[in-house]
Amino acid sequence: MKYRCTRDAADIVSFQDAVLKGLSDKGGLYFPMEIPVLEEDFFANIESYSDTEIARKVLAPYVEGSLTSEQLEWVVEETLSFKIPTVRVADDCYILEVFHGPTKAFKDVGARFLSRCLSQFEKKADQDTVVLVATSGDTGSAVAHGFYGVPNVQVKILFPKGKVSPYQEFQMTSLGGNIQAVEVNGTFDDCQAIVKACFDDESLRSKINLSSANSINMARLLPQMLYYFFMYRDIKAQLASKKIVVSVPSGNLGNITAGIIGKHMGLPIERFIAAHNENDTFPKYLQGEAYTPKPSVQTYANAMDVGAPSNYERLAHLYEGNLESMKKDIEGISYTDEQILTEIKATQQDHGYLLDPHAAIGKMALDELVSKDEVGVFVGTAHPQKFSEVIAKVIPDYSGPEVDLSTCEKISMDNSLAAFKKILLS
Ligand SMILES: *Cc1c(COP(=O)(O)O)cnc(C)c1O
């Protein structure tokens, strides 16, 4: 499989190069040149496949030429070390629980897959790869755990001071080893700007082998397709003749883009809903406004606090800029913090199911947009324990795990590229 840059049809690279580069030279993203359609037999018999069998089948074409089938088998087995169940919440309403990994959010799958791919590519290199990642919380913790102890790879995580939960900060700063957390006196967008500036800095890139672990990286995005294949396998027998609608709590749009690639491979999902918090750039676009990235605003669903969703560029590429055809596959909607709290409380009371703030948005979107002759699935992107401070506002006796930050290690710096370069080169 070859990948091409969204901004330059002549920039065509292998899977390995797409992963190592992250962003293209022109600042574009890489996207598969073709999306293979899987044979009907596979979907007809999907119940008989295990998680790792599905993963090898679905991902093989995307890594061809860069990983052998033995390497892919190892990567997949390392990646899928926990369950990804689909659980019934109400009639024709299911939650796809992707939060059973080590950091209790779905990003574990992408981070584990990326780190294992890098370790396979890097065997012969004489210089460590330095992985840069900007995070509003969940990416950093997943990358920290996904990359911890992986040979030949150093990780620098930039997070905005005071804007991640204590538990997220603990997950990023407690490991040590090849993982270094850098607290930036600024916002998530500032952290992301510093990472982007490092990639644009030719002289820095000539000194250091830089790679990115943000959701722009194809190796983080692709394995996320698997959730949707597993879900289909697990609820297929309950569908009768109803079609599936999937609501994805979205920020950078990586997870939903992966699901949509799955749909284009033949996975029988009727349509997707991009469910957003008050950062509503993408829903507004789908409703007909010009695409206008905005600064992010802070919400209770903070892993989705993204005002300029980077994977919009991949979706625009996939649909060749045609809004009408994109709208056939994707609807968009957004919700306020107040609505999140009401939903958490109502779902706990009505169905005995405790939602985290992100899943609450997914469920509200589904309840609003699914029709009677469809089966709705929303993605549970984080474990409620991760957001206990929010949940405690409506369920007063709820508490999350205790964390002790006193022994954790982080570097603090001002919002400045120069300050970060000093850290990188020291
Ligand atoms: C990252 C994240 C999201 C948003 O996913 P995107 O792929 O960026 O759209 C949603 N919920 C949680 C809990 C997350 O960690």
Vertex 253, ends 251 and 254: CA angle to 5°?
A: 115
Contact between 303 and 331 (Cβ < 8 Å): no
The pLDDT tens digits for 357-368 are: 999 999 999 999
Q: From the CA of 425, how far away is ligand 1's center (Å)?
A: 31
Secondary structure letter of residue 244 according to DSSP: E
Provide the strand spans (E) within 230-314: 243-249, 271-276
Q: Which atom of ligand 1 is nearest to the CA of 386?
A: 13
pLDDT score, position 122: 61
Q: Is 164 helix (H, G, I), strand (E, B) or coil?
A: coil
Look up the pTM and report it.
Answer: 0.92
pLDDT in tens, 167-203: 889 999 999 999 999 999 999 889 989 998 998 899 9
Q: 143 CB less than 6 Å from ligand 1?
A: no
Question: What pLDDT, on the 0 to 100 scale, is given for residue 38?
Answer: 98
Kindly report, residue by residue over 233-244, the tens digit of the pLDDT: 999 999 999 999
The whole-number pLDDT of residue 262 equals: 98
Q: Return the exposure string of 291-312: e unless at least 16 CB atoms fall within 10 Å of the residue's CB, then b.
A: eeeeebeebbbbbbbbbbbbbb
Question: Is 280's C-beta closer than 6 angstroms to any atom of ligand 1?
Answer: no
The per-residue pLDDT for 166 is 86
Nearest to 280 by CA among 259, 269, 296: 296
What region does 150 belong to: left with phi over 0, alpha with psi -120 to 50, or beta? beta
pLDDT at 317 over 60: yes
Is 252 a pocket residue for ligand 1 (Cβ < 6 Å)?
A: yes
Alpha-carbon distances of 238 from 92, 244, 268, 331, 367, rounded to whole Å:
9, 11, 14, 25, 19
Residue 230 C-alpha to ligand 1 middle, in angstroms?
19
According to DSSP, the residues that pair with 154 across neighbouring strands are 130
* 127 pLDDT tier (thresholds 50, 70, 90): confident
Tell me if 275 CB under 6 Å of ligand 1.
no
pLDDT tens-place string over residues 137-154: 788 999 999 999 988 889
User: Ligand 1: distance of its center to the CA of 249 in Å?
Assistant: 7
Q: How far is the centre of ligand 1, averaged over its atoms, from the C-alpha of 203 (Å)?
A: 33
Q: Please, what is the end-to-end C-alpha distance for the chain in angstroms?
A: 38
The arithmetic mean of pLDDT across residues 199-228, rounded, is 90
pLDDT of res. 124: 53
